[in-house]
Amino acid sequence: MCAHRNSKIRVIRGKTKRLDGCIADDIVTLNTNRFIDTVASCCGHGIYPKTIVQIKTTGEIVEIFSNKVIPRIRRFYAKDEKGFFFIPEVRI
């Protein structure tokens, strides 16, 4: 897990993305090898669960660890009062 706002810049399929530092290389690997097509991710920063949002080939958008469907096509994360982001559907 990385510190709050400790992000790294990575290029995924020609697009520049800002990713949490501790999972940046994993996200690049998942997308580069086409295991999954991710659209969002967060390590949780020790406060929330780690999340990776995927668009399945069916068009369904799910968080892969919880397998919960996300009923949005963007703005997957909400921001808490301390400035940390989380997905409301998978918040513990």
Residues of the chain scoring pLDDT < 70: 1-5, 34, 92
At 15 the pLDDT is 87
What token pair was written down for 70?
């996300």
Chain centroid to Cα 77, Å, comes to: 9
> DSSP secondary-structure letter at 54?
E
Kindly state the tokens that stand for 12: 């995924």
pLDDT of the residue at 45: 85
The two tokens of residue 43 are 């390590």
Q: What predicted TM-score, i.e. pTM, was given to this entire model?
A: 0.84
The conformational region for residue 18 under phi > 0 = left, psi -120 to 50 = alpha, else beta, is: beta
Query: So what's the pLDDT on residue 1?
Result: 60
